[in-house]
Structure 1
Amino acid sequence: MKKIRFFLIGFVLFVIVGLLLYVSYFKYHEYTSDKKIDDFIARIDKIPKKEILLVKDTYRQSTKQETNFSKKITTKKDFEKWKKEIKKNGKFYNGDCLPKNYLPKVEDCELIYNFVCRLPDKKVEFTYVITGTGYINSKKVIKENFAYPDIPFDYPEE
């Protein structure tokens, strides 16, 4: 009976320690990825720090091959422009109609600066996104819609 109890306690402890290590591993990488993204934003020095509005804090995206951590921001200028556009058109950029008495929130802003830190090499990548329309790869569309269109970005040939 003592052997069974010892085995069960050992097994439960093994599972608990395993889960703690698993959660700690991802929390550590979330923290370091968040710091790496913040350092990247500070290093490019194109968006003033006081202009940054957080749309979605660092979160994990996983596939079988890799794990990424993403952070989505917008700016005060982009948020104001977005609010004016949706009020003028009566609908969001993605085509959905604006609900009556809608109060714009930063979390709903569709003009996004998306930063992704890939786990294997800790490299930070950046893309402009208009939510509902996808990633933007046209200089013209970026310059027309974003307040800070000059962030280093790999533009495809047009």
Structure 2
Amino acid sequence: MIKILIVLLLLIYFYSILHGFFSVLKITSCIEKLEIFLQSTSPSYDGTLVGDTYREPLNNVLAKYPDICEFTSYNSQTLGYEKSDYENYRSAVSIYHELFMERNFLRKYFVKSLNPFSALKKLISFPSSLIYHMGFRMKPSFSKIFNVLAWIVAYLLTMYEEEIKACINSLLKLL
């Protein structure tokens, strides 16, 4: 059981590092697309955009928009083909600033994932996070108690594995 826990701990550790790294890369590419579009034009006073070189960068941003939506909140500005170029520009400015802030959080998550103790914490809290993903919400204090009890039960089940099998077999023979 110890070997399995160590392998699981290493998997969690490396997954957290890779997930954090690729999230930072992905949001950086979204920011770069937005930046290219925002630098290709500027708004005029009559509600239009200056120049005509912004069309291709705008199409690149709109193509990248599903990736951008992964990092924005529900209440964020939206981009779309049906919107005017000026509306897309104003929305892009807002999204650009929001993505910069989100990238700061993702960088912090990445640096935090380099600490092996964060992987250990995720491993220890695995039982309550499994219950959480099933839709049950627990208070933090109960969650900690539940984690300890779940790991004790898992240990006892592996320690008395043979006896449990024998007991189940004997009960099945009686039926």
Verify same fold: TM over 0.5. no
TM-score under structure 2 length normalisation: 0.28
Structure with the higher helix share, 1 or 2: 2
Structure index of larger Rg: 2
Structure with the higher strand share, 1 or 2: 1
Relative contact order (alpha carbons < 8 A, sep ≥ 6): 1 or 2 greater? 2
TM-score under structure 1 length normalisation: 0.31
